[in-house]
Structure 1
Amino acid sequence: MNEEQDLLDGAALTVYRLNGQFLTIGDGLAAPAGISVAWWQVMAAVQEQPLPVAGIARAMGITRQSVQRVADLLVAKGMCEYRPNPAHKRAKLVAITAAGEAAIRRIDPQHAVMAWRLADALGPAAFAETVAVLTRLSAALDMIIAADESAG
């Protein structure tokens, strides 16, 4: 293997580990509100504005089907609702309800504590740089995937 392959493997394995760590932390934060981290992610995605399931999936980098399952559960529990989508008759918008907002508000205090703890452990500047580097990595991968899809 060459150095670039080693770096790709190291980046991928680190991100997979980070994903597991974030899911563990997220589940711990979400549990007192009676929701899962997956529910929290979908509600957070539509907290600012309603989105179609496909839009949520794109933003989260996961399949539309997995978002659809979570959205259906959230609607059944009254934490989200489906609304008509003026841009697309069949793809309804997912919108957070007052109950969903209340669940997220219950998470906020411990979420703030965890954010402070991580900033304290890394240092605020290193924390910001870490986010910037991960964002650049994601954008580079998006470009490569798009190039492969258009070539393909």
Structure 2
Amino acid sequence: MRAIKRSPAGDAMTDLILDLFRVNNLTLTWGDRLVAPLGLTSARWQILGAIVGADRAQPVAWLARDLGANRQNVQRIVNDLAHEGLVTFELNPHHRRAHLVVLTDKGLKTYDAAIRLYAPKINSLVQGLPIEEIKTAGRLIKALRKKLEQEVSADA
């Protein structure tokens, strides 16, 4: 079978994507270890962060959309967080079945504790990395995400 030749930019993007896979896995492991003493995982911490960062209480489907995650996986994690008293469900005035996910006081305290652990670690991690390069990488990843979102939407 003959392979189709990639362009030089295609080769560079392939290398970047492979590195993104590796960085994603390492980031999740790093985050898991960081918040494990709080009874969290990276996934649970990420969902707590999405709740904190939202303008208002949202249903699970909206949280999943904002995170670019699978709704069923987010639902499972939110159920676990509710079981542990970190979130609760409130009635949604706009939808009978899609309850709103709300952080409890315990959830907010746990999230705040995670951020207190995170701040010194992230400050240490960025040592020696020029801020302009970090910002450039962020812009590139956002542009890649936008293109991938368009492609996925077109294929749906």
Normalising by structure 1, report the TM-score. 0.89
- Structure number with greater Rg is 2
Runs of 4+ in structure 1 deviating by more than 6 angstroms, as ranges, are: none
What does residue 19 of structure 2 align with? Answer: 14
**Residue 118 of structure 1: how far off its partner (Å):** 3.0
Aligned positions of 1:41-52 closer than 5 A: 41-48=46-53, 49-52=56-59
Are the aligned partners of 2:61 and 2:71 in contact in 1 as well (CA < 8 Å)? yes
Provide the C-alpha distance between the structure 1 equivalents of 2:13 and 2:132, rounded to a whole number of angstroms. Answer: 25
Which structure dedicates a bigger proportion of its chain to strand? 2
C-alpha distance after superposition, 1:5-41 (max 9, x if no partner):
4234323212211110110111122112121111111
What does residue 38 of structure 2 align with? Answer: 33
The one of 25, 29, 39 aligned to 1:24: 29
Which structure dedicates a bigger proportion of its chain to helix? 1
Of 43-52 and 67-76, more deviation after overlay is shown by: 43-52
Provide the C-alpha distance between the structure 2 equivalents of 1:79 and 1:11, rounded to a whole number of angstroms. Answer: 36
Provide the C-alpha distance between the structure 2 equivalents of 1:147 and 1:11, rounded to a whole number of angstroms. Answer: 23
C-alpha distance after superposition, 1:100-151 (max 9, x if no partner):
11111111222111221233231222112222211111111111222222xx
Normalising by structure 2, report the TM-score. 0.87
Provide the C-alpha distance between the structure 2 equivalents of 1:82 and 1:143, rounded to a whole number of angstroms. Answer: 32
Alignment identity in percent? 30
What does residue 6 of structure 2 align with? Answer: 2
* Matched residue type, 2:6: N
Q: Helix, strand or coil: the match of 2:88?
A: strand
Aligned positions of 1:83-98 closer than 5 A: 83-98=90-105
Are the aligned partners of 1:83 and 1:95 in contact in 2 as well (CA < 8 Å)? yes
**Residue 54 of structure 1: how far off its partner (Å):** 1.0
RMSD: 1.6
Aligned positions of 1:103-114 closer than 5 A: 103-114=110-121
Provide the C-alpha distance between the structure 1 equivalents of 2:10 and 2:135, rounded to a whole number of angstroms. Answer: 27
Provide the C-alpha distance between the structure 2 equivalents of 1:43 and 1:89, rounded to a whole number of angstroms. Answer: 23
Aligned residues: 149
Q: Helix, strand or coil: the match of 1:120?
A: coil
Provide the C-alpha distance between the structure 2 equivalents of 1:59 and 1:132, rounded to a whole number of angstroms. Answer: 18
Provide the C-alpha distance between the structure 2 equivalents of 1:15 and 1:130, rounded to a whole number of angstroms. Answer: 11
